[in-house]
Homo-oligomer: A and B are copies of this chain.
Amino acid sequence: MANSDESATIYQVAQRAGVSIATVSRALRGTGPVAAKTRERVLRAVEELRFTPSRLGVSLASGRHAANGIVFPDLSGPYFAEVLLGYEEVASELGRSVIILSTRGRAAVPDLVRDLSRRVDGMVIFGQTVRDDVVAEIVDSGLPLVMIARDDVAGADVVASENTVSAARLASHLLGHGYRRIALAGGHDNGDITQRWTSVGQVLSEHGLTPPEPSPCEFTVEGGHALGRYLLSGPRPEAIVCADDQVALGVILAAEELGLSVPGDVAVTGWDDIMAARHARPALTTVRQPMRDLGARAARALDELITGARDTPRSQVTPTELVIRASCGTHPLEEA
């Protein structure tokens, strides 16, 4: 393989084919007429020189990056990975590369986001990863933007999965078990989690119970573990509703360490239905969220915004499903 180290440019192709660069461009992109013979000469030259158009040249001239960004808080844990998976798949189908940015533990997030915004045609941001003023700045700059799992933002699309109904179902189910002292593991986030807590609180209120204050913790197994030890050491709740599955797994671990049985001594529920939920001991009652679908929808919504197929922001909510397993108790009473 003849490797001139520096890859060929359109000028070299043009020279070799004995035509102008305009003709090369037209032949390659199919814009404008090119005689069959000429095209053939061009293609031969392209092949001989192993020419691939410089992405930068193309982008600068055409004004588009053919790339999308996605900003998430953290890639650890299955939730974000699954969303990303769905996102990348669709983006790739649409001919767009995906540039990722994780904000976890990063100091200069606004700058990183700004930087990202300069290299994409549009971006997706998970709720609560980027300050509101920075989000507003992005919207204001005219860059197509889709938010995932966040309250509506003026000027941006929102893709979220259903929280209120499923949270209410979950709460009702636990009440059906006869549990009354219910604790919430995981603090407010002004997004998904908050919606769930509000909904759970409402159901409890309707049943004459005082909605509990959620206990903050990191949304990881470790966070759940620490909080679990705390919650299970004081006056013990009958059920602990966790912000997500990882927290729930941590709580179960804590219960085990304290010699408590789940669900015998305390019921535990999660949210997301990650792989480990099914394999946990006991298997985790949780709410299944269509994670990949969320990412796929975000990618499509963004594409519409970028291509201009749509120019008014839209908010879409995908349904979720309550998955009853062993961790909330073995013999649930029938509920309304």
Q: A218 at interface (Cβ–Cβ under 8 A)?
A: no
Contact check, A99 vs B102: say whether CB atoms are below 8 A apart: no
Q: A318 at interface (Cβ–Cβ under 8 A)?
A: no
Q: A131 at interface (Cβ–Cβ under 8 A)?
A: no
- Looking at A100, A221, A280, the one whose CB has the most chain B CB atoms below 10 A away is A100
Binds B, one of A80-88, A158-166, A208-216: A80-88
Q: A259 at interface (Cβ–Cβ under 8 A)?
A: no
Question: Which residues from chain B contact A275 at a C-beta distance below 8 Å?
Answer: 77, 221, 246, 249, 276
Q: Which residue of B lies closest to A295 (CB)?
A: B75
Q: A142 at interface (Cβ–Cβ under 8 A)?
A: yes
Contact check, A106 vs B92: say whether CB atoms are below 8 A apart: yes
Which of B52, B56, B97, B140 contacts A56, CB < 8 Å? B56
Contact check, B101 vs A99: say whether CB atoms are below 8 A apart: no
Question: Which residues from chain B contact A312 at a C-beta distance below 8 Å?
Answer: none
Question: Which residues from chain B contact A246 at a C-beta distance below 8 Å?
Answer: 275
Q: A56-B65, A85-B102, A98-B100 are in contact. Are A5 and B78 (CB under 8 A)?
A: no
Per the 8 Å Cβ criterion, residues 112-135 of A in contact with B are 112, 114-116, 118-119
Per the 8 Å Cβ criterion, residues 44-62 of A in contact with B are 52-57, 59-60
**Proximity string of chain A (137-151) to chain B, C-beta cutoff 8 Å, 1 when within and 0 when not:** 100111000000000
What separation, in Å, do the CA atoms of A82 and B74 have in the docked complex?
A: 10
Q: A3 at interface (Cβ–Cβ under 8 A)?
A: yes
Q: Which residue of B lies closest to A106 (CB)?
A: B92
Per the 8 Å Cβ criterion, residues 246-295 of A in contact with B are 246, 249, 252-253, 275-276, 279-283
Which of B3, B77, B280 contacts A279, CB < 8 Å? B280
- Looking at A85, A252, A282, the one whose CB has the most chain B CB atoms below 10 A away is A85
Contact check, B279 vs A67: say whether CB atoms are below 8 A apart: no
Q: A7 at interface (Cβ–Cβ under 8 A)?
A: yes
**Proximity string of chain A (210-241) to chain B, C-beta cutoff 8 Å, 1 when within and 0 when not:** 00000000000100000000000000000000
A residues touching B (Cβ–Cβ < 8 Å)? Answer: 1, 3, 5, 7, 52-57, 59-60, 65, 67, 74-78, 80-82, 84-85, 88-89, 92, 97-102, 104-106, 112, 114-116, 118-119, 137, 140-142, 221, 246, 249, 252-253, 275-276, 279-283
Apart from A60-B60, A92-B106, A279-B280, 12 more pairs, CB < 8 Å: A3-B140, A74-B85, A75-B82, A75-B84, A81-B81, A81-B84, A92-B112, A97-B101, A99-B100, A221-B275, A280-B280, A281-B281
A-B contact pairs, 11 of them (CB 8 A): A52-B114, A55-B115, A74-B85, A88-B100, A89-B105, A99-B99, A99-B100, A253-B279, A276-B279, A279-B279, A279-B281
